[in-house]
């Protein structure tokens, strides 16, 4: 059973200052999880987590992870700017992007970030616009279908990311000729896996590739980046990943494949977003309407603007009706927002306790790819973000948008100046 990290009493107090909807994050949970990840890979002296900024681009949250020893994985100009503002530089930044504008490569080079090339043609492009750095990484796409013992996990052959093996090997040779001295290999083959097998299986593929690359190019492999893909159990009945088991599986593959090949000093990197933060964020909303037609509906003051995943992917997010945790789930609802789109539903045919107008609703596991995927369709305004600190106090870490924010891009004219 999923339990909120805030109580009804806490939420009643919070809503006196911060009306719903809002996203709230659990500092204690975030720190403890970051420390577990670090412990799981402590066997690798070069290990570093590069938090995927795209998952939760909030400087207050990123600072917590920085204090826990994490770097940042950036994929755009604004993410690089945020990293710079927070004091990240050099090998604390991994820049992984695709169809990359020239200015973003220039900014990454200014910060001396690790650059992870997504395409063979980017070698010449990078050299032209920003120069080839001493350390460079390339993203690998093996093509085909990615399988583990648990079955098919994803289809890299249909993904737009990465280089083929032949391109990567030839690319490393060319990069070496152009002055690069140290190399990294990166790959991302599946998203949100709930399996302790994913990272060890991916690691084995990349470790074997590293051995082949070394033999065919003679380059020095400095790091192997396992990227993200380690997911969370969104449904209560799912078994969560065990990061200690995952870390041990990667260690065994490292000892079996890299060490015999003389690659004994290769650092392991990760770029986790969802695993780092998703369980430690809630979207808190209020039930504001009910509707009785062909189905039973509960309307919230939140909508897909605040959490896009259910509308976009049909994703499951668990719902707790605060104060009714022990009540029987004997009512079937579609739980909706107010957008003019019929997919604006947080849950469909969900069995829940009877919901009354004014009930506070917690939508679980929104700490990653929650607020970050927000938008302004229908003129909806994005919510505040709050932090439940370790001392149980509440900190505002992003204010709610106002109509003035929505109209800000018309500041070149007088049409909406009074709003």
Known catalytic residues? 340
Contact yes or no for 51/367 (Cβ under 8 A): no
Cα gap 208→254, rounded to integer Å = 10
DSSP secondary-structure letter at 254? I
149 Cβ contact list (under 8 Å, min separation 6)? 197
Residue 314, phi then psi, degrees to nearest 5: 70, 25
- Give dist(CA 114, CA 108) in Å, integer: 8
Q: Which residues is 152 bridged to in the sheet?
A: 147
Angstrom distance (rounded) from CA 363 to CA 282: 6
Look up residue 193 and give its DSSP letter: B
Of the candidates 113, 108, 161, 117, the one whose C-alpha atom is nearest the C-alpha of residue 138 is 117
Cis status, amide bond into 109, omega within 30 of 0: no
Q: How long a stretch of residues is the chain?
A: 419
Query: Residue 221 corresponds to which tokens in the numbers above?
Result: 């492999």
Distance CA 370, CA 368 (A): 5
Q: CA 108, CA 75: separation in Å to the nearest integer?
A: 10
What's the CA angle centered on 306, arms 305 and 311, to 5 degrees?
A: 65
Using alpha carbons, select from 269, 279, 223 the residue that is nearest to residue 72.
Answer: 269
């Amino acid at each position: 059973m999923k339990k909120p990290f805030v109580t009804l009493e806490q939420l009643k107090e919070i809503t006196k200052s911060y009306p719903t909807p809002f996203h709230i994050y659990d500092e204690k949970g975030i720190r403890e999880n970051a420390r577990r990840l670090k412990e799981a890979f402590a066997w690798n002296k070069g290990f570093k987590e590069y938090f995927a900024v795209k998952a939760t681009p909030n400087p207050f949250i990123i600072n917590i992870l920085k204090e826990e020893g994490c770097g940042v994985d950036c994929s755009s100009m604004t993410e690089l700017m945020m990293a710079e503002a927070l004091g990240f530089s050099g090998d604390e930044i991994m820049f992984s992007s695709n169809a990359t504008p020239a200015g973003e490569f220039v900014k990454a080079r200014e910060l001396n970030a690790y650059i992870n090339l997504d395409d063979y043609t980017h070698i010449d492009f990078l050299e032209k616009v920003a120069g080839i750095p001493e350390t460079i990484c390339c993203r690998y796409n093996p093509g085909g279908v990615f399988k583990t013992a648990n079955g098919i996990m994803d289809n890299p052959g249909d993904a737009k990311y990465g280089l083929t093996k032949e391109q990567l090997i030839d690319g490393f040779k060319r990069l070496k000729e152009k002055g690069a001295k140290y190399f990294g290999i990166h790959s991302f083959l599946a998203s949100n896996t709930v399996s302790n097998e994913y990272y060890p299986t991916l690691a084995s593929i990349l470790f074997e590739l590293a051995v082949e690359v070394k033999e065919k190019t003679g380059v020095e492999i400095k790091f192997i980046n396992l990227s993200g893909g380690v997911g969370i159990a969104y449904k209560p009945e799912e078994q969560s990943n065990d990061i200690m088991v995952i870390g041990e599986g990667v260690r065994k593959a490292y000892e079996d494949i890299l060490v015999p090949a003389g690659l004994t000093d290769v650092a392991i990197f990760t770029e986790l977003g969802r695993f780092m933060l998703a369980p430690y964020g809630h979207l808190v909303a209020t039930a504001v309407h009910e509707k009785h037609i062909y189905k039973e509906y509960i309307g919230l003051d939140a909508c897909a603007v605040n959490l896009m995943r259910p509308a976009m992917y049909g994703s499951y997010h668990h719902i707790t009706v605060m104060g009714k945790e022990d009540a029987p789930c004997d009512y079937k609802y579609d739980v909706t927002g107010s957008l003019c789109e019929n997919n604006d539903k947080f849950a469909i045919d969900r069995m829940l306790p009877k919901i009354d107008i004014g009930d506070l609703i917690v939508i679980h596991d929104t700490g990653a790819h929650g607020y970050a995927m927000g938008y302004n369709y229908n003129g909806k305004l994005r919510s505040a973000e709050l932090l439940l600190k370790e001392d149980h106090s509440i900190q505002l870490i992003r204010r709610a948008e106002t109509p003035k924010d929505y109209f800000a891009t018309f500041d070149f004219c007088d049409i909406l100046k009074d709003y």
